[in-house]
Structure 1
């Protein structure tokens, strides 16, 4: 029954995606016809559908010999995902105006030509601005003052990055910039809050990205947790071994001690369905800890704030949402999560959710920025 339900859902998704692509492809063809009236239809639709379906095509686990052939399709297809969202927002509006003009007896054909070029210009501006937001990183600083009887010998500078999504699209060039920006902070701790991989570990290994990650330097170490995309890639054991070899422990429902604080790393929420062992509760993870020390919890998806506050966690770090990555998706993430980006105080708990450093799918951000977090961590005794 589950297999049948999955098959029907997949078929419905393919049908919807096909209808959307035909809608967009038809409108693009109208614009191209004004430039190349004799454009062969078969050639156009073949090229269009290959680009439109490039991303899902590249995600198929092809044999290793032909897998490199599909890498360009993933890049082209990722950009098309941004184009598709842009088109779905503006094409229906343009069609509505066209219909009104036709009913009013105005020159709808002239409008269609002008609208096509205006939309094309807006798309270029959208891609340029969105690319700038994705590749040019901002450093956001948060002072975190831990109240109560918790003590630190001295203030701590903590650099935080989430959602690197290292793979065929976000590669070594962007990673090197991350390493340079974080090392320039001279942090006491570096925390990587999940989705270091985009999914497949293959490009991470092939491009030897671990060699650049190994250059991250912090006085008290670098720690990471898993995100949902590490689970999707299915190479968690191999990934954690590679990270361990470069001195970055990947905490999987584990606790580390460094710089006088506890660093608690939860498995991602995806473990509840994809890991046969599930994941431990916050209460279980914190059993036996010395509560006079500050507790930093890394949990990739921003959920369970109430449980963390109840158990005495001082700082909860998450990512995952990308703040929607492309507007107006941030309106959706804002309603899905108690906090989808930024800072929240809940009783004695400080929550910080990052919009992430890399991108999923298109390297495009709108109403969202690539970011690194710089936290200044102090307690009443160390101010």
Structure 2
């Protein structure tokens, strides 16, 4: 049974959600009724209501096998609608103010609505088009670092990294193939995937045979992954690990592997493990306790929330994702405040920390102020 406090929170969120969509729908009706000879608002209101709740409808339909494809269509529509909601909330209040000022200058209401509304529509379409291009056109971002340790006979290492792939109903085989193509061109010694490989449910990965593309990720020193918060949200941890193992990707669960007898790759469970995993989550200190600290220590930790401890415990390279760099500006202002490093590179003592904006997307397949990216990391070892 739901607690009264939780019921209150759900009711408040639902009220805000409905209010925002009513506000957007009302503005849309004013514009469309000025543009077209529309009189009955009921069909329009019905369409707005369906679109507003299409993401939820899609999530409800997806588990029903005969309706799964229909559910995916609704989820895609709803995902784009989330972006429309965010930017409508930013664009419509100043647009309403400008409309009011124009009518105070004796400009006819009809002219003011069409003029201001058309500008808003053009801006919104520009955002959606540019955001889609940013999301589906990944770039390779290169970092070069030096670790002041010996890695045995190895003097250098090229790492290919892709975080937050979010394979599911929206990010699928086509986008995954872009990652595989880029890695084949890069020819890394080692490939690392720091969490959120799938987007909650592993069903689409299996149903769409994404393993056919995933198995193309190959590197001489291996391919390693860790769990992100979305793997825990989906709850199919054992199945996910088995699917990754089947294509030659080892998922590290609070464990390390010594590679080429010269350096360690440490895979840390996501922060979600504290509440979602009966075995909990080890601290950085526990993870490195039995390791030879004279060798380079490379750690994957999905959320960049523990950089201070990583530095104090002798980690040389920390690789994370999770933040998406806010994915759609101005959300990056929030991620900057939440994390010491929400994107890019930071050095703390001997620690080199890199946080990627991610390869895939969550929710809207859009990126504004960020790009889908793959990391090429060139490491030199100089003791």
TM-score with structure 1 length normalisation?
A: 0.95
Alignment partner, residue 206 of structure 1? 207
SS in 1 for 2:35: coil
Q: Choose from 261, 266, 276 the match for 2:263.
A: 261
Aligned partners of 1:300 and 1:3: how far apart in 2?
32
Deviations 1:136-169 (A, max 9, x none): 1111111110125665623010000001011111
Aligned partners of 2:325 and 2:12: how far apart in 1?
27
Mapping of residues 1-383 of structure 1, within 5 Å:
3-38=3-38, 40-60=40-60, 62-103=63-104, 105-148=106-149, 153-259=154-260, 260-381=262-383
Deviation at 1:103, TM superposition (A): 4.4
Q: Which moved more, 1:352-361 or 1:38-47?
A: 38-47
Partners of 2:356 and 2:373 within 8 A in 1: yes
Partners of 1:179 and 1:215 within 8 A in 2: yes
Structure 1 vs Structure 2 CA RMSD: 1.6
- Structure 2: gaps of 5 or more residues: none
Deviation at 1:2, TM superposition (A): 7.2
TM-score with structure 2 length normalisation?
A: 0.95
Q: Which moved more, 1:17-26 or 1:61-70?
A: 61-70
Deviation at 1:189, TM superposition (A): 0.2
SS in 2 for 1:73: helix
Q: Which moved more, 1:32-41 or 1:203-212?
A: 32-41
Rate the CA distance shift 1:39–1:258 in 2: closer, same or farther, 3 A.
farther
- Structure 1: gaps of 5 or more residues: none
Aligned partners of 1:357 and 1:184: how far apart in 2?
16
Aligned partners of 1:177 and 1:105: how far apart in 2?
54
Aligned partners of 2:2 and 2:147: how far apart in 1?
47
SS in 2 for 1:215: coil
Deviation at 1:105, TM superposition (A): 4.6
